[in-house]
Amino acid sequence: MVGYPQHVFMKKSNGKKKRSSKTPVAITIEEYAEILKQTTGLHHRMGIMLAFESGLRISECIALKPENINLKERTIQVRGGKGNKDRVTILPESWDDKVHRPLLPIPCSKRALQKEFELACERCGLYKKKPDVHFHSLRHGFATFCYEQGVPLEHIQILLGHSDISTTMVYVRVSPFKAIKAAREAFKGEKEYRGGNLNEIR
């Protein structure tokens, strides 16, 4: 399937495919910057930008039209997304309307955009660090970055177009630092339970 490595899907006993519970591979904002540097063609860079900065799927990047851009509100109207659903998400901060709008719809196929992404990952050495990275990792990176910056999960759910919040909850596993920080804060004020005090009890 375009945009996914094989391990993302597992076969059910009835022969149908189901999504694996394996933690998604997300691209960081630093990795995103390196990928852009190694990407040839403005239209390819725009597709990658839309995936990481707006959370678009590869098919949604290719299908995007000029009339889907609301420059005044800085939003994108995604038409006929997965499950034939419409949604609204943010316009990339990197969006330059005079430069990018004339390139819509992106003049290449899904496969061509994915191939250029793969070549860029090879050029910047990302496969050595994350061998399972794929185009959809850009969308995972968008969601993970939003979560790390404090965007509520229910808001991320809306931006991604998820029907069920449990689908969005996977990004808690991708970036568990909030849970770790909360646990540390919970114990920080309980001095009587710290190791030093426990050692004194011995």
Give pLDDT, residue 192.
Answer: 54
Q: What are the residue ranges of helices labelled H in the chain? A: 29-37, 42-54, 58-63, 97-100, 110-124, 126-129, 136-148, 153-160, 165-168, 170-174, 177-188, 195-201
State whether residue 198 is helix, strand or coil.
helix
* pTM score above 0.85: no
pLDDT tens for each residue of 11-66: 444 554 455 567 899 999 999 999 999 999 999 999 999 999 999 999 999 999 99
Give pLDDT, residue 10.
Answer: 40
Partners of residue 9 on adjacent β-strands: 19
3-state secondary structure string across 46-89:
HHHHHHHHHCCCHHHHHHCCHHHEECCCCEEEECCCHHHCCEEE
Residues in the chain, pLDDT under 70: 1-21, 189-202
Give pLDDT, residue 179.
Answer: 79
Domain architecture of the chain: domains with CATH: 17-201 (1.10.443.10)
Residue partners of 152: CB distance under 8 A and separation at least 6: none
Give pLDDT, residue 118.
Answer: 98
